[in-house]
Amino acid sequence: MEKTLAFTGILSNKAEENPDFFNWNRVKLRYCDGASFSGEGQNKANGLYFRGQRIFEAGMEELMSKGMKNADQALLSGCSAGGLASIVHCDEFGGLFPKTTKVKCLSDAGLFLDATDVAGGHTMRNLYAGVVSLQGVEKNLPSTCTNRLDPTSCFFPENLIDNIKTPLFLLNAAYDAWQFQESLVPSSVDPHGEWTACKLNHSNCNSTQIQFLQDFRMEMLDDVKGFARYDQNGLFINSCFAHCQTERQDTWFADDSPLIGKKKIAESVGDWYFDRRPVKAIDCPYPCDTTCHNLVFK
């Protein structure tokens, strides 16, 4: 784990790189527990102790004592596993502050879907089931979900986002590069490598493969329908092959950043956070968006 990290994008302290949040106190809480700060279990035989929930609470307690308790504005954000953490812990974070504090949450690339892989299996669900049971995550999941669904389902954002009381913004690429590679087409379900070229570069995908990805996008849009009905929530689903767009300068706020309706991600998040306008931005399907910063793998 590096001792120093560049603070770029939403973490930048320069107005020209981060117009709305540059002069905030910004903290990065390093993620190392393997369950989005929600584990609380042990495997004594192997000397494994999972303490993600306690790590989150200890981090928050420390920050509150250092002055965060006096904040008039707060934003819990995270990307990928941290994006899931900012969904799972959103109301808990909101509950730390008095009602007079403006508190919101932002999940970047945390909208992991309970999707079917190309072989008809459930790679992501199987992964989550292992994490949830190994780490004893169930006790830390919201009862609004666990009283009606199994614990593994309650680790998927699609089953949490409709019941979160704190305002939440979901930023996600419709063709999330990580989910494409690890959930939809992991190498284990593509033994002959028919998807290899397509996974490395979307321009190599054939029409059947593109259709599969379009279906994934439609599933994502379907999962956020109810969530989007709430005025307080925000949405930015761009039709890109990307993963994590807030902490990279080129995708957050630069001259050629991704756009939906002429608005960059930084502008959209700022407009939503400061209530300048409602933001429910959903892109047209691939290949219509020419502003994407698509990830291409070697």
CA 112 to chain CA centroid, Å, is 7
What is the token pair recorded at 240? 């890109």
Which of 38, 243, 257, 268 is the catalytic position? 243
| DSSP code of residue 11 | G
DSSP-assigned beta bridge partners for residue 197: none
Q: By CB neighbour count within 10 A (0-12 exposed, 13-18 middle, 19+ buried), where does 272 fall?
A: buried
275 is catalytic: no
Residue 227, judged by CB atoms within 10 A of its CB (0-12, 13-18, 19+), counts as buried
Strand partners, 237: 172, 282
Residue type, 256: D
Closest residue by Cα to residue 198 from 173, 219, 177, 221: 177
The residue with tokens 């950043």 is 257
* Alpha carbon distance 112, 168 (integer Å): 16
* Per-state percent for the chain, helix, strand, coil, to nearest 5: 40, 15, 50
3-state DSSP assignment of residue 170: strand
Residue 192 a catalytic site member: no
Strand 259-260 with 263-264, pairing: antiparallel
Q: Point out the catalytic residue in the list 33, 114, 117, 176.
A: 176
Instruction: Tell me, yes or no, if 243 is annotated catalytic.
Output: yes
- Residue pointed to by tokens 């996600």: 172
- The closest of 243, 55, 33, 220 to 131, measured between CA atoms, is 33
Single out the catalytic residue among 12, 36, 38, 80: 80
Q: Which residue has the tokens 């910004």?
A: 26
CB atoms within 10 A of CB 122: 16
Catalytically active residues are: 80, 176, 243
